[in-house]
Homo-oligomer: A and B are copies of this chain.
Amino acid sequence: MKKIINDPEALVDEAVEGLAAAHPDLVRISLCPRYIVRADAPVSGKVALLSGGGSGHEPLHGGFVGRGMLAAACPGAVFTSPTPDQMLEAGKAIHGGAGIVQIVKNYTGDVMNFDMAADLLRAEGIEVENVLVDDDVAVKDSLYTAGRRGVGLTLAVEKIGGAAAEAGMGLAEVAGLCRRVVANGRSMGVALTACTVPHAGKPSFALAEDEMELGIGIHGEPGRERVKLEPADRIAELLLGPIIEDLPFERDDRVLLFVNGMGGTPLIELYALYRKAAEIAAAHGLEVERRLVGSYVTSLEMAGASITLLRLDDEMIRLWDAPVVTPALRWGA
Protein backbone atom coordinates (compact mmCIF):
# COMPACT_ATOMS: atom_id res chain seq x y z
CA MET A 1 0.00 0.00 0.00
CA LYS A 2 1.36 3.40 -0.98
CA LYS A 3 1.08 6.33 1.37
CA ILE A 4 1.61 10.07 1.41
CA ILE A 5 4.15 9.89 4.18
CA ASN A 6 7.67 10.86 5.23
CA ASP A 7 9.29 8.74 7.93
CA PRO A 8 6.68 6.26 9.26
CA GLU A 9 7.95 6.92 12.80
CA ALA A 10 7.21 10.63 12.33
CA LEU A 11 3.73 10.27 10.81
CA VAL A 12 1.69 10.65 13.99
CA ASP A 13 3.59 13.72 15.22
CA GLU A 14 3.35 15.31 11.78
CA ALA A 15 -0.38 14.66 11.56
CA VAL A 16 -0.89 16.14 15.03
CA GLU A 17 1.11 19.20 14.00
CA GLY A 18 -0.99 19.42 10.86
CA LEU A 19 -4.17 19.25 12.90
CA ALA A 20 -2.99 22.14 15.06
CA ALA A 21 -1.92 24.16 12.01
CA ALA A 22 -5.27 23.55 10.32
CA HIS A 23 -7.42 24.36 13.36
CA PRO A 24 -5.60 26.95 15.48
CA ASP A 25 -8.94 28.32 16.63
CA LEU A 26 -10.09 24.94 17.97
CA VAL A 27 -7.12 23.03 19.39
CA ARG A 28 -3.69 23.28 21.02
CA ILE A 29 -1.15 20.47 21.06
CA SER A 30 1.90 19.12 22.88
CA LEU A 31 4.33 16.66 21.28
CA CYS A 32 6.16 15.26 24.27
CA PRO A 33 4.18 13.89 25.74
CA ARG A 34 1.78 13.88 22.79
CA TYR A 35 -1.71 15.26 23.31
CA ILE A 36 -4.34 17.54 21.78
CA VAL A 37 -6.49 19.84 23.96
CA ARG A 38 -9.27 22.27 23.14
CA ALA A 39 -7.94 25.77 22.61
CA ASP A 40 -9.73 27.18 25.64
CA ALA A 41 -8.69 24.45 28.09
CA PRO A 42 -8.99 24.25 31.03
CA VAL A 43 -12.66 25.18 31.27
CA SER A 44 -13.01 25.90 34.93
CA GLY A 45 -15.85 24.37 36.85
CA LYS A 46 -16.71 21.85 34.15
CA VAL A 47 -16.03 18.13 33.83
CA ALA A 48 -13.40 17.41 31.15
CA LEU A 49 -13.61 14.45 28.76
CA LEU A 50 -10.31 12.80 27.92
CA SER A 51 -9.90 10.05 25.37
CA GLY A 52 -7.27 8.58 23.15
CA GLY A 53 -6.05 5.39 21.63
CA GLY A 54 -3.83 4.16 18.87
CA SER A 55 -3.51 6.47 15.88
CA GLY A 56 -4.84 5.45 12.47
CA HIS A 57 -8.51 5.94 13.39
CA GLU A 58 -8.70 9.61 12.42
CA PRO A 59 -10.70 11.75 12.90
CA LEU A 60 -11.18 9.75 16.12
CA HIS A 61 -10.07 11.03 18.66
CA GLY A 62 -8.12 14.22 17.88
CA GLY A 63 -10.71 15.43 15.38
CA PHE A 64 -13.31 15.42 18.15
CA VAL A 65 -11.48 17.79 20.46
CA GLY A 66 -13.30 21.07 20.95
CA ARG A 67 -16.30 22.73 22.48
CA GLY A 68 -19.08 20.26 23.24
CA MET A 69 -17.03 17.09 22.82
CA LEU A 70 -13.54 16.07 24.01
CA ALA A 71 -11.38 18.35 26.16
CA ALA A 72 -8.32 16.27 25.23
CA ALA A 73 -7.17 13.38 23.07
CA CYS A 74 -3.97 11.35 23.45
CA PRO A 75 -2.83 9.71 20.19
CA GLY A 76 -0.62 6.65 20.56
CA ALA A 77 1.56 5.23 17.82
CA VAL A 78 -0.47 3.75 14.94
CA PHE A 79 -2.79 1.09 16.38
CA THR A 80 -0.94 1.21 19.70
CA SER A 81 -2.56 2.65 22.79
CA PRO A 82 -1.12 5.85 24.23
CA THR A 83 0.96 5.74 27.40
CA PRO A 84 0.01 6.90 30.92
CA ASP A 85 2.34 9.91 30.86
CA GLN A 86 0.36 11.34 27.93
CA MET A 87 -2.94 11.10 29.79
CA LEU A 88 -1.34 12.49 32.95
CA GLU A 89 -0.10 15.67 31.25
CA ALA A 90 -3.21 16.08 29.09
CA GLY A 91 -5.36 15.57 32.17
CA LYS A 92 -3.49 18.26 34.08
CA ALA A 93 -3.89 20.62 31.10
CA ILE A 94 -7.67 20.23 30.92
CA HIS A 95 -8.69 19.74 34.53
CA GLY A 96 -11.10 22.51 35.40
CA GLY A 97 -11.68 21.41 38.98
CA ALA A 98 -14.71 19.23 38.30
CA GLY A 99 -12.90 15.99 37.48
CA ILE A 100 -12.09 14.01 34.38
CA VAL A 101 -13.93 11.26 32.52
CA GLN A 102 -11.63 8.99 30.52
CA ILE A 103 -13.35 7.37 27.54
CA VAL A 104 -11.50 4.11 26.93
CA LYS A 105 -12.06 1.71 24.05
CA ASN A 106 -11.98 -1.81 25.42
CA TYR A 107 -8.63 -3.20 24.31
CA THR A 108 -6.22 -4.76 26.77
CA GLY A 109 -3.52 -2.23 26.02
CA ASP A 110 -5.80 0.79 26.23
CA VAL A 111 -7.43 -0.42 29.43
CA MET A 112 -4.10 -1.02 31.16
CA ASN A 113 -2.60 2.30 30.10
CA PHE A 114 -5.69 4.33 31.02
CA ASP A 115 -5.94 2.49 34.35
CA MET A 116 -2.37 3.45 35.16
CA ALA A 117 -3.10 7.00 33.98
CA ALA A 118 -6.11 7.18 36.29
CA ASP A 119 -3.88 6.17 39.21
CA LEU A 120 -1.36 8.88 38.29
CA LEU A 121 -4.07 11.55 37.91
CA ARG A 122 -5.65 10.62 41.23
CA ALA A 123 -2.21 10.89 42.81
CA GLU A 124 -2.36 14.51 41.59
CA GLY A 125 -5.60 14.94 43.48
CA ILE A 126 -7.78 14.87 40.35
CA GLU A 127 -11.01 12.89 40.42
CA VAL A 128 -11.19 10.42 37.52
CA GLU A 129 -13.93 8.19 36.17
CA ASN A 130 -13.07 5.63 33.48
CA VAL A 131 -15.76 4.65 30.98
CA LEU A 132 -15.14 1.51 28.93
CA VAL A 133 -16.65 1.41 25.43
CA ASP A 134 -17.30 -2.14 24.21
CA ASP A 135 -19.89 -2.08 21.42
CA ASP A 136 -18.52 -4.56 18.88
CA VAL A 137 -20.94 -7.47 18.64
CA ALA A 138 -18.51 -9.37 16.42
CA VAL A 139 -16.63 -10.38 19.57
CA LYS A 140 -18.46 -12.58 22.02
CA ASP A 141 -18.26 -11.06 25.47
CA SER A 142 -17.18 -14.02 27.54
CA LEU A 143 -14.66 -15.13 30.11
CA TYR A 144 -12.67 -16.46 27.21
CA THR A 145 -11.99 -13.17 25.49
CA ALA A 146 -10.75 -9.75 26.46
CA GLY A 147 -14.38 -8.73 26.05
CA ARG A 148 -16.10 -6.84 23.24
CA ARG A 149 -14.02 -4.21 21.47
CA GLY A 150 -14.75 -0.51 21.42
CA VAL A 151 -15.45 0.74 17.89
CA GLY A 152 -17.94 3.11 16.22
CA LEU A 153 -20.06 3.83 19.29
CA THR A 154 -17.09 5.70 20.78
CA LEU A 155 -18.06 8.74 18.68
CA ALA A 156 -21.54 8.85 20.23
CA VAL A 157 -20.16 8.44 23.75
CA GLU A 158 -17.77 11.33 23.18
CA LYS A 159 -20.43 13.55 21.55
CA ILE A 160 -23.15 12.97 24.11
CA GLY A 161 -20.77 12.86 27.09
CA GLY A 162 -19.05 16.00 25.85
CA ALA A 163 -22.33 17.85 25.53
CA ALA A 164 -23.23 16.77 29.06
CA ALA A 165 -19.93 18.11 30.39
CA GLU A 166 -20.41 21.34 28.44
CA ALA A 167 -23.87 21.65 29.99
CA GLY A 168 -22.25 21.59 33.42
CA MET A 169 -23.32 18.15 34.63
CA GLY A 170 -21.26 16.65 37.44
CA LEU A 171 -18.59 13.96 37.18
CA ALA A 172 -20.78 11.07 38.28
CA GLU A 173 -23.65 12.22 36.04
CA VAL A 174 -21.45 12.58 32.97
CA ALA A 175 -19.79 9.21 33.56
CA GLY A 176 -23.18 7.64 34.21
CA LEU A 177 -24.58 9.08 31.02
CA CYS A 178 -21.58 7.83 29.01
CA ARG A 179 -22.14 4.35 30.47
CA ARG A 180 -25.82 4.57 29.52
CA VAL A 181 -24.78 5.27 25.93
CA VAL A 182 -22.42 2.29 26.03
CA ALA A 183 -25.16 0.09 27.44
CA ASN A 184 -27.55 1.07 24.62
CA GLY A 185 -25.21 0.95 21.61
CA ARG A 186 -23.90 -1.84 19.41
CA SER A 187 -21.72 -1.97 16.29
CA MET A 188 -20.30 -4.33 13.71
CA GLY A 189 -17.90 -3.85 10.80
CA VAL A 190 -16.74 -5.43 7.56
CA ALA A 191 -13.48 -5.07 5.63
CA LEU A 192 -13.06 -5.44 1.86
CA THR A 193 -9.33 -4.85 2.03
CA ALA A 194 -6.77 -4.95 4.82
CA CYS A 195 -4.82 -1.87 5.83
CA THR A 196 -1.08 -1.42 6.08
CA VAL A 197 0.52 -0.16 9.27
CA PRO A 198 3.12 2.36 8.03
CA HIS A 199 6.09 0.94 9.90
CA ALA A 200 5.03 -2.62 9.09
CA GLY A 201 4.94 -1.90 5.37
CA LYS A 202 2.66 -4.75 4.42
CA PRO A 203 -1.07 -5.49 4.80
CA SER A 204 -2.19 -6.93 8.13
CA PHE A 205 -4.02 -9.73 6.34
CA ALA A 206 -4.76 -10.83 2.80
CA LEU A 207 -8.22 -10.98 1.22
CA ALA A 208 -8.96 -12.47 -2.18
CA GLU A 209 -10.77 -10.34 -4.76
CA ASP A 210 -14.03 -12.14 -3.97
CA GLU A 211 -13.72 -12.21 -0.18
CA MET A 212 -14.60 -9.92 2.67
CA GLU A 213 -13.74 -10.10 6.35
CA LEU A 214 -16.84 -9.90 8.54
CA GLY A 215 -16.64 -8.60 12.09
CA ILE A 216 -13.31 -6.80 11.85
CA GLY A 217 -12.04 -4.46 14.50
CA ILE A 218 -10.38 -1.14 13.76
CA HIS A 219 -6.75 -2.24 14.08
CA GLY A 220 -6.43 -4.40 11.01
CA GLU A 221 -7.12 -7.42 13.18
CA PRO A 222 -8.75 -10.21 11.21
CA GLY A 223 -12.47 -10.48 11.87
CA ARG A 224 -14.97 -13.07 13.01
CA GLU A 225 -15.22 -14.89 9.71
CA ARG A 226 -14.12 -14.65 6.12
CA VAL A 227 -16.98 -14.87 3.66
CA LYS A 228 -17.67 -14.27 -0.02
CA LEU A 229 -18.00 -10.63 -1.02
CA GLU A 230 -21.71 -9.74 -0.94
CA PRO A 231 -23.75 -6.91 -2.51
CA ALA A 232 -24.19 -3.73 -0.45
CA ASP A 233 -27.76 -4.58 0.55
CA ARG A 234 -26.70 -7.99 1.84
CA ILE A 235 -23.77 -6.44 3.71
CA ALA A 236 -26.21 -4.11 5.46
CA GLU A 237 -28.20 -7.16 6.58
CA LEU A 238 -25.11 -9.05 7.70
CA LEU A 239 -24.05 -6.12 9.89
CA LEU A 240 -27.41 -4.95 11.24
CA GLY A 241 -28.79 -8.42 11.93
CA PRO A 242 -26.36 -9.31 14.73
CA ILE A 243 -26.50 -5.74 16.08
CA ILE A 244 -30.29 -5.74 16.42
CA GLU A 245 -30.33 -9.23 17.94
CA ASP A 246 -27.59 -8.52 20.43
CA LEU A 247 -29.01 -5.66 22.48
CA PRO A 248 -31.75 -6.49 21.39
CA PHE A 249 -33.31 -3.48 19.67
CA GLU A 250 -37.07 -3.65 19.64
CA ARG A 251 -39.98 -2.14 17.70
CA ASP A 252 -40.56 1.54 18.38
CA ASP A 253 -37.06 1.99 19.81
CA ARG A 254 -35.81 5.43 18.80
CA VAL A 255 -32.30 5.08 17.43
CA LEU A 256 -29.23 6.82 16.05
CA LEU A 257 -28.16 5.03 12.86
CA PHE A 258 -24.49 5.60 12.11
CA VAL A 259 -22.93 4.23 8.92
CA ASN A 260 -19.18 4.61 9.25
CA GLY A 261 -16.45 4.24 6.63
CA MET A 262 -13.21 2.47 7.48
CA GLY A 263 -11.09 4.97 5.59
CA GLY A 264 -10.74 3.70 2.02
CA THR A 265 -14.41 3.38 1.11
CA PRO A 266 -15.80 6.43 -0.70
CA LEU A 267 -18.87 8.35 0.46
CA ILE A 268 -20.94 7.26 -2.56
CA GLU A 269 -20.78 3.67 -1.29
CA LEU A 270 -21.47 4.68 2.31
CA TYR A 271 -24.66 6.49 1.31
CA ALA A 272 -25.80 3.53 -0.78
CA LEU A 273 -25.17 1.34 2.28
CA TYR A 274 -27.02 3.80 4.54
CA ARG A 275 -30.04 3.62 2.25
CA LYS A 276 -30.46 -0.10 2.86
CA ALA A 277 -29.55 0.13 6.55
CA ALA A 278 -32.33 2.67 7.11
CA GLU A 279 -34.72 0.39 5.21
CA ILE A 280 -33.82 -2.57 7.44
CA ALA A 281 -34.12 -0.50 10.60
CA ALA A 282 -37.59 0.63 9.50
CA ALA A 283 -38.56 -2.96 8.68
CA HIS A 284 -37.71 -3.85 12.29
CA GLY A 285 -39.99 -1.07 13.52
CA LEU A 286 -37.11 1.10 14.71
CA GLU A 287 -37.58 4.85 14.54
CA VAL A 288 -34.40 6.40 13.13
CA GLU A 289 -34.39 9.71 15.00
CA ARG A 290 -30.81 10.75 14.26
CA ARG A 291 -28.33 9.79 11.53
CA LEU A 292 -24.65 10.02 10.72
CA VAL A 293 -22.82 8.91 7.56
CA GLY A 294 -19.10 9.28 6.97
CA SER A 295 -15.61 8.00 7.76
CA TYR A 296 -15.26 8.92 11.44
CA VAL A 297 -13.85 5.84 13.16
CA THR A 298 -11.38 4.48 10.65
CA SER A 299 -8.64 1.94 10.19
CA LEU A 300 -6.09 3.79 8.04
CA GLU A 301 -6.94 3.22 4.36
CA MET A 302 -8.92 0.03 4.91
CA ALA A 303 -11.87 -0.37 2.53
CA GLY A 304 -14.96 -1.32 4.47
CA ALA A 305 -17.64 0.02 6.75
CA SER A 306 -19.25 -0.42 10.11
CA ILE A 307 -22.75 0.22 11.35
CA THR A 308 -23.58 1.49 14.82
CA LEU A 309 -27.03 1.55 16.33
CA LEU A 310 -27.74 3.47 19.54
CA ARG A 311 -31.05 3.39 21.39
CA LEU A 312 -31.85 7.00 22.22
CA ASP A 313 -33.79 8.60 25.03
CA ASP A 314 -34.89 12.25 25.23
CA GLU A 315 -31.78 13.32 27.14
CA MET A 316 -29.43 11.64 24.69
CA ILE A 317 -31.25 13.26 21.75
CA ARG A 318 -31.02 16.69 23.35
CA LEU A 319 -27.31 16.23 24.00
CA TRP A 320 -26.65 14.80 20.52
CA ASP A 321 -28.27 17.91 19.04
CA ALA A 322 -26.33 20.28 21.30
CA PRO A 323 -23.71 22.49 19.61
CA VAL A 324 -20.38 20.84 18.82
CA VAL A 325 -17.36 22.67 17.40
CA THR A 326 -14.51 20.31 16.57
CA PRO A 327 -12.35 19.74 13.48
CA ALA A 328 -14.39 16.72 12.38
CA LEU A 329 -17.83 17.10 13.89
CA ARG A 330 -19.53 20.47 13.86
CA TRP A 331 -23.05 21.77 14.16
CA GLY A 332 -25.19 24.21 16.08
CA ALA A 333 -22.46 26.86 16.13
Q: Which residues does A use to contact B, with CB under 8 Å?
A: 2-7, 11-12, 14-19, 21-23, 55-56, 58-59, 63, 78, 192-193, 207, 209, 212, 229, 231-233, 235, 259, 263-276, 278, 291-293, 295, 298, 300-301, 303-305, 327-328, 330-333
Contact = CB atoms under 8 A, between A and B. Distances in A.
Identical copies of this chain, number: 2
Contacts of A305: 4
Contact of A11 (B16, B23, B209, B268): B268
Contacts of A63: 267
Nearest to A212: B2
Contact of A4 (B14, B16, B235, B330): B235
Given A14-B232, A267-B295, 10 more contacts: A3-B269, A4-B272, A5-B272, A21-B274, A22-B259, A58-B266, A58-B268, A265-B301, A266-B298, A331-B333
Nearest to A56: B268
Contacts of A231: 5-7
Query: 8 nearest interchain CB pairs?
Result: A18-B271, A18-B275, A58-B267, A14-B272, A2-B192, A15-B271, A18-B274, A4-B269
A58 B229 contact: no
B264 A301 contact: yes
A266 B4 CA distance: 9
A22 B271 contact: yes
Given A22-B293, A278-B21, A2 B229 contact: yes
Contacts of A5: 231-232, 269, 272
A211 B298 CA distance: 26
A274 B24 CA distance: 13
A132 B288 CA distance: 40
A268 B300 contact: yes
10 contacts: A2-B207, A4-B270, A15-B267, A15-B269, A15-B275, A21-B274, A22-B259, A56-B268, A58-B271, A267-B328
Contacts of A235: 4
B303 A2 contact: yes
Contacts of A2: 192-193, 207, 209, 212, 229, 303
Contacts of A331: 330, 333
B4 A275 contact: no
A242 B295 CA distance: 31
A263 B263 contact: no
Contacts of A192: 2-4
Contact of A272 (B18, B265, B266, B274): B18
A189 to B, nearest CB: 12
A83 B333 CA distance: 37
A275 to B, nearest CB: 4
Contact of A233 (B6, B229, B278, B304): B6
Contacts of A293: 18, 22, 327
A238 to B, nearest CB: 11
B266 A301 contact: yes
A329 to B, nearest CB: 9
A209 B15 CA distance: 23
Contacts of A4: 192, 232, 235, 265, 269-270, 272-273, 304-305
